[in-house]
């Protein structure tokens, strides 16, 4: 498959606001449920098209088809702004394109309640703390659709900067609705150059080891919340499935998980900011996350290295710091960082070792971090 030329990624900034609870938020929920239907319908269509013609239909065949569907068999979709319906098809299209470029997986069918977000390029209006969405409503007297504009209020804890490109409505597992405002704002105050570089080794015992010998421990939020999780899980198992109290316990559990995710994300952002402030060049290794998960299980998920690397990348781009990832097959653990002697006898349990060649004493992680930094500075070595 030929690689498509991708548009240069523009800088976007997302602002997240909580939509205030209100009975009419049900409309947003109904809209997301319907969008889930649209998603499943068109994904099924794509798969059938592929079975018959051995190629994918793509958005330019599906979007006209959506027009026909709304006119004939699915008139109950017409109350949602057309752009938002189109966006569902475009998402499927983009997911397939990314899949062919080897960047991601295939799109999946979703349970209704699992469809999470809707994108609005048009059909909305933003004002101080309020967002208006232009739904449509069937009018009996004139036998046509009329605009049914609805205001939703959100908690505007900060101003957004720049021109608004589009907005998104999101719902999470606890039933809270969020408003994402995406703008083209790209102003940042750059950090002062420090002239320092750092090599970072990820580990299970110590979260990060820097080549300076500094060790950063992970707070392990999931581990500390396990007891609370167990309590809620127990109370959930005592409830009658499907009852009001059961749903309450489900939401309680979801809220607890959301809290853990928020804590971890916050810590990752603070750590990444700190590293960007202190160093001009940040070098890490490419992680084999699937392999690590098989080896270590829940602990890897709790540490979530993948998310941290993504945040670190984002921060480096934002603050114009250089970020390198040393290839997976570059030897970083075994060679001695002083003389380069490859210590083949090193096992996973050896935290410290002495080089038989030059006699220098090494901490396993610090040694790896030094090797990572060296490999990143050496242009000959394969880099990602």
Chain positions contacting Zn ion, by CB under 5 A: 336, 338-339, 341, 355, 357-358
Taking phi over 0 as left and psi of -120 to 50 as alpha, with beta for the rest, 220 belongs to: left
Choice among 285, 344, 357, 378 that is catalytic: 285
CB of 343 vs Zn ion, minimal distance in Å: 8
Specify whether 185 is catalytic.
no
Q: Between 21 and 357, whose beta carbon lies closer to Zn ion?
A: 357
Choice among 46, 87, 201, 302 that is catalytic: 201
Question: Which among 85, 86, 92 is positioned nearest to 57, based on CA atoms?
Answer: 92
Specify whether 285 is catalytic.
yes
Choice among 34, 280, 302, 365 that is catalytic: 365
Q: Between 107 and 335, whose beta carbon lies closer to Zn ion?
A: 335
Q: Between 136 and 334, whose beta carbon lies closer to Zn ion?
A: 334
Whether 53 contacts 7, CB under 8 Å: no
CB of 203 vs Zn ion, minimal distance in Å: 21
Q: Between 291 and 359, whose beta carbon lies closer to Zn ion?
A: 359
CB of 211 vs Zn ion, minimal distance in Å: 16
Whether 343 contacts 355, CB under 8 Å: yes
Contact residues for 337 (Cβ-Cβ < 8 A; gap 6+): 362, 367, 370, 371, 374
Question: Which among 267, 271, 298, 290 is positioned nearest to 200, based on CA atoms?
Answer: 271
SS3 170: strand
- H helices within 279-363, ranges in order? 289-296, 298-303, 305-318
CB of 312 vs Zn ion, minimal distance in Å: 30
Specify whether 365 is catalytic.
yes
CB of 353 vs Zn ion, minimal distance in Å: 10
Whether 120 contacts 167, CB under 8 Å: yes
Could you give the CA distance from residue 338 to residue 323 in angstroms, rounded to a whole number? 24
Q: Between 237 and 354, whose beta carbon lies closer to Zn ion?
A: 354
Active site residues: 201, 285, 365
């Amino acid at each position: 498959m030929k690689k498509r030329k991708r548009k240069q990624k523009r800088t976007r900034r997302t602002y997240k606001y909580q939509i205030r609870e209100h009975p009419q938020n049900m409309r947003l929920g109904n809209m997301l449920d319907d969008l889930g239907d649209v998603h499943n319908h068109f994904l099924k269509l794509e798969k059938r098209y592929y079975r018959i013609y051995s190629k994918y239909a793509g958005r330019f065949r599906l979007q006209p088809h959506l027009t026909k569907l709304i006119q004939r068999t699915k008139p109950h979709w017409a109350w949602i702004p057309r752009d938002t319906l189109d966006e569902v098809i475009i998402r499927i299209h983009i997911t397939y394109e990314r899949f062919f470029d080897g960047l991601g997986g295939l799109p999946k069918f979703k349970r209704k309640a699992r469809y999470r977000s809707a994108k609005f390029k048009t059909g909305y209006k933003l004002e101080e703390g309020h967002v208006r969405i232009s739904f449509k409503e069937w009018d009996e007297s004139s036998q046509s659709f009329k605009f049914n504009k609805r205001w939703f209020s959100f908690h505007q804890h900060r101003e957004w900067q720049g021109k608004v490109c589009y907005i998104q409505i999101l719902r999470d597992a606890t039933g809270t609705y969020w408003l994402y405002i995406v703008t083209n704002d790209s102003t940042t105050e750059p950090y002062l150059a420090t002239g320092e570089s750092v090599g970072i080794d990820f580990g299970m015992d110590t979260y990060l080891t820097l080549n300076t010998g500094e060790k950063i421990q992970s707070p392990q939020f999931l581990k500390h919340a396990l007891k609370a999780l167990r309590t809620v899980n127990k109370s959930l198992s005592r409830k009658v499935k499907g009852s009001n109290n059961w749903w309450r316990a489900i939401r309680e559990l979801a809220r607890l998980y959301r809290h853990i995710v928020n804590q971890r994300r916050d810590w990752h952002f603070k750590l990444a900011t700190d590293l960007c402030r202190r160093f001009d060049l940040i070098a890490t290794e490419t992680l084999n996350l699937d392999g690590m998960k098989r080896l270590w299980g829940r602990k890897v998920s709790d540490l979530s290295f993948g998310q941290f690397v993504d945040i670190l990348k984002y921060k480096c781009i934002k603050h114009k710091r250089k970020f390198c990832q040393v290839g997976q097959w570059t030897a970083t653990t075994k060679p001695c960082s002083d003389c380069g002697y490859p210590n083949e006898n090193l096992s996973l349990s050896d935290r410290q070792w002495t080089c038989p060649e030059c006699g220098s004493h090494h901490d396993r992680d610090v040694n790896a971090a030094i090797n990572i930094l060296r490999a990143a500075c050496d242009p000959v070595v394969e880099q990602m």
